Structure 1
Amino acid sequence: MSFLLRRPPGHEAYPGDIFYLHSRLLKRTAKLSSSLGEGSMTALPIGETQSGDVSAYIPTNVISIP
């Protein structure tokens, strides 16, 4: 993932700002145009775990995004 984003690797070879990237993507899902009537939208992030291990780095970050 760090290679694709062209950023230095951080924890578990993920970029150091991976938590920021996840939250930014979720915020962008609800950025609606005022010309289209604004409103709100619900985003349901889905992450695949290995053997149901939700204590890994990425699943815990996704779970903790408000």
Structure 2
Amino acid sequence: MDSKRALAENLRKNIYDLNMTQAEYAKEIGIPYTTIEYAISGNGSVSLSTLDKIAYGTGIDPWELIRPPESK
């Protein structure tokens, strides 16, 4: 699994676990909704800066966000 797909799956799981919408999640961590939508699609790449913002906002280490779920 590549890191884009791992990020998408990990974000989906985190949003689900928090019982939030993608829009609520994006607002909570301080990034545009379209950025979360783009990352969750698994089709695009986010910059390292954006990955850091997501990680900081969620309290999850950046490497955990891109680590394949099955290897956790």
Q: Same fold (TM over 0.5)?
A: no
Q: Which has the higher contact order (CA 8 A, sep 6+)?
A: 2
Instruction: Name which one, 1 or 2, has greater alpha-carbon Rg.
Output: 1
Structure whose residues are more often helix by fraction: 2
Scaled by the length of structure 2, the TM-score of the pair is: 0.27
Scaled by the length of structure 1, the TM-score of the pair is: 0.29
